[in-house]
Structure formats: C-alpha cells, structure tokens
C-alpha cells in the first residue's frame, strides 16, 4: 500500500470550499468500492462548504468527457472517481491510460482542477483498502476531493 509520504497537513483538515461548485463524476463499476469513494468525497465537500452534485457514468472510460462537460458548464472543479481492476487481457491498460490521460487533458484544456480518484488495482481487496470503508487503510475519495478544492484555491490565488 502506498500511503507513505501523503500530505498529512492537508488531509483530514477542513479546507474552505465555500463558493465553489464541484461535480463528482463517478463510474458505476465495482459499486461497493465506488460508493465508498463517493462517500469520502461527499464528507470533504460538505465539511468544506462547497456546493456539489454527483453524476454517474457507465465506467472510467467515460470520466474525461463528462468531467470536461461539467467544467465547461460552470463547475469550478471535478472529482473523478472510478475503479479499474486488472484482468487477464490488455483492457486494463487501455482503460487506465485513457482515463488518466483524458482527465489530465481535461484539466489542462479547461484550466480547472480535476481531483483524481481513479483506482487502478490488481484485485478487489486493494480497492476495499483504499475506499474509505470501515476497515480501509486509506480514503482516496477524500483525498481526491481535498486535492480538487486545494487546487481550485491555489488557482484562484494565482489568478487574483
């Protein structure tokens, strides 16, 4: 598990999301894990005072296009959540690369933050360990939402 070196100063702290409109875009695959990620993101966004909505998409491949649409429609940030578990075919690599590259492109093209909460896993247990569920070692939904708000604030400071 790679939680070592995480920015503990920002995680767990309440950051100011007031006045921000955030869209959580989440895939539908691996529902228990994804629902845990969403719950973690919701906790952060609620505590921060950000306004948010949730949009569900079929899978991780669809995250970039819907994230871009949300940002172009006026959202200040997106929290992209998905679960991709390795199988016996190259499908894992293609979907993982498409989601990662696509979300990076969305952030750069729009100039707005995309909190990256797409889990790329070897097995389901790794996802359960990262989903912020009871017994989980990490909460990647929380981390992605924290990153989105913190980046939105950093960009606002630079643009002021």
What amino acid positions are annotated as catalytic residues? 91
Chain Cα centroid distance, residue 104: 12
What separation, in Å, do the N-terminal and C-terminal C-alpha atoms of the chain show? 39
Q: Are 122 and 86 in contact (CB under 8 A)?
A: yes
Largest CA-CA distance found in the chain, in angstroms, rounded: 49
Helices 31-48 & 140-159, crossing angle to 10 degrees?
40
């Amino acid at each position: 598990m790679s939680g070592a070196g995480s920015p503990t100063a920002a995680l767990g702290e309440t950051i100011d999301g007031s006045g921000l409109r955030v869209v959580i875009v989440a895939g539908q695959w691996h529902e228990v894990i994804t629902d845990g990620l969403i719950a973690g993101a919701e906790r952060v966004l609620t505590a921060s005072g950000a306004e948010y909505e949730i949009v569900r998409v079929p899978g991780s491949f669809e995250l970039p296009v819907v994230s871009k649409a949300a940002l172009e429609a006026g959202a200040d940030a997106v929290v992209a959540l998905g679960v991709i578990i390795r199988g016996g075919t190259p499908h894992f690599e293609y979907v993982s690369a498409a989601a990662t590259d696509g979300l990076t492109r969305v952030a750069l093209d729009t100039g707005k933050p995309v909190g990256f909460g797409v889990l790329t896993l070897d097995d389901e247990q790794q996802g359960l360990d990262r989903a912020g569920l009871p017994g989980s070692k990490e909460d990647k939904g929380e981390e992605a939402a924290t990153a989105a708000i913190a980046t939105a604030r950093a960009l606002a400071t630079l643009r002021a």
